[in-house]
Structure 1
Amino acid sequence: MVRRAGFLVPWMLLAWWTAGCPGRGGSGTVEPAGGGGTVEPRGTAGTPPDAAMSRAEIPDEYKWDLAPLFADDAAFEAGLAEAASERSELAGCRGTLADAERLERCLDLYFRVRLLTNKLTLYANLRLETDTESPEAQARSDRALAAMQELMALAATFRGEFLAWDEAALAVAYEARPGLRAYRPYLDRIRERRAHVLGEEAERVLSLAGDNQWAEIDLNEIPSDHEKVFDALLAEIPLPKIVDESGAEVQLALSNYARYRASPERRVREAAVEGLFGALRAYDGAFAAALAGQFRFNVFLARARGYERAIDAYLWRDQVDPAIYEGLVRAVEANVAPVRRYLDLRRRLMGLDELHIYDLYTPLVPPVESRIPYEQAVEEILAAVRPLGEEYLAVLAEGLDPRHGWIDVYPHRDKRSGAFCSYVYGEHPWVFVNYFEELDDLLTVAHEFGHAMHSYLSMKHQPYVTSSYVPLVAETASTFNEVLVLRRRIDEAPTDDERLYLLGELVESIRTTIYRQALFAAFELEAHAAVEAGTPITAEFLERTYVDLLRRFYGDGLTLGENDGMEWAYIPHFYWKFYVYSYAGGLAAGIAFGEKVLAGGEAEREAYLGLLRSGSSRPPLELFRAAGVDPSDPAVVGAAARLLDDSLTRMEEILARRGATSR
C-alpha cells in the first residue's frame, strides 16, 4: 500500500518515475535466473537479508533475468541503432497519411518502433535500479530515454494528418483494410480530443515548454523541473541531530526518518517529526515556490489546450470523469467517523491525553516477532488468492518462483529502495522488491504481483494498442491481492496478540491509503482551484489549506502542533498531477471486489478477472461497472469505512478479553 511508496511502472509509452522506489543495478552482463549450483534461500538459514551486502553475494536464483528484453549490453546497443534507423524511416511518413494503405503501414511501423523503444527503456532502467552508482548504467538509461523522447516528438507531427480524416472516409478505410481497423482505438482517442489539439506551431511550442509530446498532457513520465527542485531541496536541507532510544546522538536523515518517526519512544518520534517539519519551515518559501510553479504550469497547459480546469485535462486523458475524483473526496470526508474512532482508540491504547501526528506511525500494538522467509511468503500469497482460480494461480506461481526471472528479491548495496512492477508488451512483467522478511515485505510482494498479474492478463487478452490501463484500475488489482493476504492472516492468526497486531496493520493501511490519500487529493484540488481563481499560492496559503484538511478529516482527535501544517512540503505526490486519488479509489474498489469474490462464486470471480483482462478496451468506468463495482458510487467508500469500523470492533473485543484499560 501507499506507505511503501511503490507502484506500477508501465513502459507502454515512457516510464513513470519510480517515485519512492529509487535504485539501479549491476554492470556487465545480466545475471540469468536460476544460475548453477545449489542455492540456499536467504532467511531460511543463517542471517536475514542485509542491505549492506553486495549483489554478488546474492544467489543468481533471486535476481531477475532481463534476457527476454536484451541478451546483454551489446544487444541493447544494437537495439538503439535499430530504433534510430526505424525513426528515420518513420519520418518519411509525414505528409503521406491521407492514403489508407499508407496510414496503415505507417501505424504498423510506429507501433513496431514504439515497442522496441519500450524494451530499450525498460532494460536500461531495470539495470539502473540495481546499480544506482554506476555511471554506465545512468548513461544507458539517459540514452534510452532520449530515444523515447525523439520518438514521441516525431509521433506528435502526425496528429494533424490523423485529424484531417473525416468520419465517413475513415469508416470506409476501416471496412476496406482490416489491418487498419486494429488501430481504431488509438485513432479514436486522438480524435476524441481534437478540440484540445492545437496547430502545428502551437504544438511545437508546447512541446518545447515540456508538454507531453504525443496525444495528451504530461503523463508523469518524467519528473518536471519543479519536481526536480523539490527533490534537490528535500535532499539538501540541513536536518538536526536527535537522541535515539539508546541515548546516542544520531543524525536525522531522510533515509532514517521513517524509522525514528515510528519509534516506540515518544520523545524520539517527536524529535524526528519536529526536526524534519522545523527544517521544512526554514525553507518554506522555496518549497512553496516549487509547488506553486508546478500547479501554475499544470493550469497553463490545461488552459492552453482549451480545458476549463487542470483536473479536466489530466483525468480525461484516462477517460475518467473528474466527477469520480471529486465524488471520492466527498465520500471519504462523509465517512470520517470510523477513522476518528480509530484515532481515539489509538490515543487510549497508547495511554495519551493528546494524540499528535508523531504518534500515528508507531505500531498500535507491539509487533509479533516472526521472520517470513520469501518461500513462506510465496505459499501465503498463493493460498490467499486461491479464490481467483487455477489459471490465475498457475501463472502467479510461475512469477513468484524466482528461478523464472520475474522478480529481483533481496536488498543490496547500490540497489534502489522501495518496490514496483514494470512491464512491456509481449514479455512477462518484472517485479522489484527489497525483501527483509517482515510482514510489510510479504504484503509488498502480494501488492506488486497484483500489478504483475493484471499486466499479464491484459497483455494476454488485448492487442498492444489496448493493453495498457489507467492508475485507478491498476491500484484496484494490486490492493485486492494485498488485502486478501492480510485478511487471511487475520482470520488464521493463532493468538489474540497476533490477530490484534494484524488488525492494527489493516486499519492503519485503510487510514493511510484511503483517508490520507483522499486528503492529499483534496489538497491538490483546492490548490489548483486557487491558481485557477488567481489566488497567490504562498507558503502561508499552502499551510493553512493543509491544516484545514487535517481538521476536516481527523477532527479534534488529532492535536496539531506548530509545525504540523508544514507536512505539505514533504509530500512528493503533489507533483504527480491528480494521481493519488487512484490509491484511495483503488483500495476502496479492491476491498469491494474482495468481498464479492470471497462471498460469491465463479460469476463473481470471472467478473473481476474480466476487469483485469480488459486493458483499455473500454473507458474505465464502463469496465468497473461491468465487473460489478461502480467507483462513482459513494457506497464503495462506505463499504471500506465499514471494514475499518468492523476491524476496530474486533480489536476492542480482543482488548476487552485481555482486560486492557482505557483512558
Structure 2
Amino acid sequence: MTIPKRKDVPVNLTWDLTRVYQSDNAWEDAYNQIKKEISTLNDVQVNFTNSGHNLYAGLTKILLVQRQLEKIYVYATMSSDVDTTNAHYLNYVARAQAIASDFAAATAFINPAILNLSQEKLTAFKQEEPRLSEYDHLLEQIAQLKPHTLTFEEEKLIAAAGDALETSENTYNVLTNSDLEYGYVENEQQEMVQLSDGLYSVLIQSQNRAVRQGAFESMYTTYEQFQNSLASTLAGVVKKHNYIAKVHHYDSAQKSALAENNIPSVVYDTLIKAVDKHLDLLHRYVNLRKKILNLDDLQMWDMYVPLTGKPSLTYTFEQAKAEAKKALIPLGNDYLRQVDYLFNNRVIDVVESQHKTTGAYSGGSYDTDAYELLNWADNVDSLYTLVHETGHSVHSMFTRQNQPYVYGDYPIFVAEIASTTNENILTEYFLQNITDPLTRAFVLNYYLDSFKGTLYRQTQFAEFEQYIHQMDAQGEPLTADFLNSAYGKLNQRYYGNAVEVGSAIDKEWARIPHFYYNFYVYQYATGFAAATALANKIVYGTVQQKEAYINFLKSGSSNYPVAIMQAAGVDMTKPDYLEEAFATFAKRLEEFETIVNNNFK
C-alpha cells in the first residue's frame, strides 16, 4: 500500500493546530513576545527574595513565561511531526529549543535563591503575602533539595562540566544510531534486506523460525563486535550517575534519581522482591510457549512470536472509536464526555503519511487541547494504542481543568498508570464479551505478552541497573566480560530452564538505551502493576473506588506521586498492588493454558 502524502490525507483525519495558533504569523508574534519577556527576567532576579510580595510576583511571572513558552514549543514540534522534512517547521523547532535554553539560563537563580531563605524568613514572607500559599507544594519540593544542594560556585562548576559528563551518552547514541550496521538478513519472502532496529522488531515476531533466528544472530553478532566500546560508554554513564549522587550527598545514585519525585527506595526494592517471588509464573508461561511452538529447544529468538497466529480482530478508526467508548463505560459519564470531545474535535492526527513521525503520543500544553498522534492500521494494536493515548489525554484534560498551571502537569511515574489502566480495562471488556475460544486466546496472549514485556522485562532491567551501579560504587570495573556474565545470569534466572539462553543474549545490555536514563525503567513496571489493580477496581469495584481514580486524574502534580497513588487506592510502598497484578496474570495464564490444551493440538 502506498503511503499518502500529507496533502492527500482527508482533513477529518488530521489534527487542527489553528486551535493553538490561528496562523504561523500568530506563532511569530508569540515567539517575539516571549523573547522580550525572557529579557526582563533579570529584573525579577534582583529583588526576587527581598519580600514576600516580590517572591510571589517573581514566581508568577516566571511561570507565566514558561506557560507561553510551552505553547509555542507544542505548535512547533507538532507542526514538524506531521512532516519531518518541512524545513520551515524544523526551523520553528530549533528556535523553540533555543529560546527554551535561554529561559532555563535566565531562571537558574530560582532554586539557589529560595534555598538561601531561612525557614523563619519564608514563614514571614507567607504572612506578608498570603497568596504564596498557592506555591506551598512547589516551595516544599525546592526545600527538600537543600541537604543535597552545594554552594552556588560549586553547582556552577558541575554545570560547566555538563558537556564532558554527557560524553558517554552522546557516544552511545552516535554509535548505535549512526555507526552500527547489522548487515543483511533474509525476510519471509526470501529476500535479502538490510536489518534495522525497526525491521528487527518485525522479523523477531515472524512465524518463520529461520527468519527469527537470522535476525537475532545478525543483531547480536554486531553488538558482540562492539561490546568493549559499549561497555566503556555504559561504565562512563554509571560513573557519572554515582559521581553526581556522591557530591550531592546521596547514599546512592538510585536514591538521587528517586528523590526527584520523592519516591521512597522501598518502592523500587518492593518491585524487585515481588517479581522475584513470582518468577515461577513467567517460567510457566515460557514452558507453555515451548509446548505451543512444539519445539525441542526453545531459543531466545522464539520469545516474541505470537502464539495464536495473526489476529482475527480488525478495526477501522471509526469502529475503534465506538469500541473504545463501550470499553471505557466503567469509568463513568464525566470521563466519557472527555473522550467524546477528543473523538469529535479534530485533535487526533490519525493515519500514516509520508515523513510523518513514527509511533504514537499524546501531547499539548496547559493552554491547548490534548492532541494525539497516531499511525493507524486496522488492527487490534491500533485500538490498544488509541485507548492508551486517550488515557494520557483525559489525564491531561482533567488535570488542566482542576489544577492551576503550577501543578497542571504530572511526572512519568503516574503518567503511564493512566494510559495503561485503559489498556487493562479494554482487555477486561474483551474477555467479558468475546466467547469464541480462539479469539479469547488471542486476547489472553496479547495481555500475557504485554505483562511479560512490561512487568517482568522492565524489572529485569531495573534489577540490572541497580546492580551495576552498586558494583561500580564498590570499585568493580564494568568490563564487557563482567556485564555479559551479570546480565546472562539474570536473564537465565528470569526465563528459567525451558529456554536455551545461550551466550548471545548476554550482550542484550548493550542495546538497551534505557540504562543511560538513570533509574527510569522501573516506572514502566510499577505503572503496569498499579494499572492492573486500578482497572480491577474500576470494572468491579465500588462507586467510591471509581471516584478515587477520577480524583487521581484530576490531581496533576499537586502532591508527591506516591501520595497521589495512595489516595487513588494503591499504596506503592507495599507489595499488595503487585500481588494483585500477579494474581490477574495467573488467572489469565490458567485460562490460556486451558484453551491451548483444548484447541491447540
- TM-score w.r.t. length of structure 2: 0.96
CA–CA separation in structure 2 for the residues paired with 1:69 and 1:154: 26
What is residue 638 of structure 1 aligned with on the other side? 579
Is contact 1:531-1:537 (8 Å) kept? yes
Aligned AA for 1:547? G
| Residue aligning to 2:6 | 55
Find out whether 1:383 has 2:326 as its counterpart: yes
- Residue 397 (structure 2) pairs with residue 446 (structure 1): no
Aligned ranges for residues 388-427 of structure 1 at < 5 Å?
Answer: 388-401=331-344, 404-427=345-368
Deviates more, 1:487-496 or 1:186-195: 487-496
The residue identity in structure 2 corresponding to 1:367 is K
1:249 aligns with 2:182: no
The structure-2 alpha-carbon separation of the partners of 1:286 and 1:71, relative to structure 1 and needing over 3 Å to count, comes to farther
Structure 1 position 153 matched with structure 2 position 88: no
CA 423–322 in structure 1, closer or farther in 2 if over 3 Å, else same: farther
Which amino acid in the other structure matches residue 656 of structure 1?
N
Q: 1:333 aligns with which of 254, 260, 276?
A: 276
Distance 1:180 1:635 in 2: 38
CA distance 1:497–1:634, shift in 2 (3 Å):
same
Query: In structure 2, what is the equivalent of residue 557 of structure 1?
Result: 498
Mapped to 1, the partners of 2:454 and 2:75 lie a distance apart of 31
1:543 is aligned, of 469, 484, 491, to 484
Q: What does residue 230 of structure 1 align with?
A: 172
- Residue 92 (1) aligns with residue 43 (2): yes
Find the counterpart in structure 1 of residue 239 from structure 2.
296
Contact 1:157-1:200 at 8 Å conserved across structures = no
Q: 1:506 to 1:158 in 2, by over 3 A?
A: closer
* Structure 2 Cα separation of the partners of residues 72 and 533 of structure 1: 57
Contact 1:409 1:434 survives alignment (8 Å): yes
Identity %: 30
2:148 corresponds to which residue?
196
- Check if 1:79 corresponds to 2:30: yes
User: Which residue is equivalent to 1:261?
Assistant: 204
Out of 264, 267, 276, the position equivalent to 1:321 is 264
Counterpart selection for 1:64 from 15, 19, 34: 15
Conservation of the 8 A alpha-carbon contact between 1:339 and 1:644: no
Distance in 2 (CA, whole Å) between partners of 1:183 and 1:260 is: 51
Counterpart of 1:141 (choices 93, 101, 104) is 93
1:310 maps onto 2:253 in alignment: yes
How far is 1:152 from its partner? 1.6
**Rounded Cα–Cα distance in structure 2 between residues aligned with 1:51 and 1:591:** 39
The whole-number CA distance in structure 2 between the counterparts of 1:307 and 1:154 is 28
> Could you list the per-position Cα deviations for residues 504-548 of structure 1 after superposition, in whole angstroms to 9, with x for gaps in the alignment?
101001000100010111111111112222221222222222112
Report the aligned-residue RMSD: 1.8
Aligned length: 598
Q: What is the alpha-carbon distance in structure 2 between the residues aligned to residue 258 and residue 207 of structure 1?
A: 38
Among candidates 89, 111, 135, match of residue 183 of structure 1: 135
Name the residue aligned to 2:72: 120
Distance 2:162 2:346 in 1: 36
1:25 aligns with none
Alignment of 1:569-584 (within 5 A): 569-584=510-525
Structure 2 residues not aligned, in runs of 5+: none
Local SS of the residue matching 2:372: strand
The 3-state SS of whatever aligns with 1:297 is helix
Q: Distance in 2 between matches of 1:126 and 1:230?
A: 27
Counterpart-to-counterpart distance in 1, 2:20 and 2:481: 49
The 3 A distance-change label for structure 1 pair 364 and 137 is same
Give the counterpart letter for 1:269 in structure 2.
R
CA distance in 2, matches of 1:366, 1:202: 59
Q: Are the equivalent residues in 1 in contact too, given 2:264–2:573 (CA < 8 A)?
A: no
Q: Counterparts of 2:482 and 2:224 in 1: how far apart (Å)?
A: 13
Residues 190 and 388 of structure 1: is their aligned pair in 2 closer, same or farther, counting only changes over 3 Å? same
Q: Which segment is superposed worse, 258-267 or 304-313?
A: 304-313
Whether the 8 Å contact between 1:261 and 1:269 is mirrored in structure 2 is yes
Alignment partners' CA distance in 2, 1:509 and 1:372: 20
Contact 1:299 1:532 in 2 (8 A): yes
Residue 321 of structure 1, CA deviation: 0.9
Q: Does 1:356 align with 2:299?
A: yes
Structure with the larger RCO, 1 or 2 (CA within 8 Å, 6+ apart): 1
Matched, 1:434 2:375: yes
Structure 1 SS opposite 2:193: strand
Structure 2 CA distance for aligned equivalents of residues 494 and 56 of structure 1: 43
Deviation (angstroms), 1:370: 4.0
Contact 2:398 2:553 in 1 (8 A): yes
AA aligned to 1:284 is Q
The DSSP-based 3-state class of the residue aligned with 1:143 is helix
Q: After the TM superposition, which parts of structure 1 deviate over 4 Å for at least 4 consecutive aligned residues?
A: none
Question: Shift in Å at residue 53 of structure 1?
Answer: 1.8
* Structure 2 residue identity aligned to 1:595: N
**Partner residue of 1:275?**
218
Report the structure, 1 or 2, having the larger helix content: 2
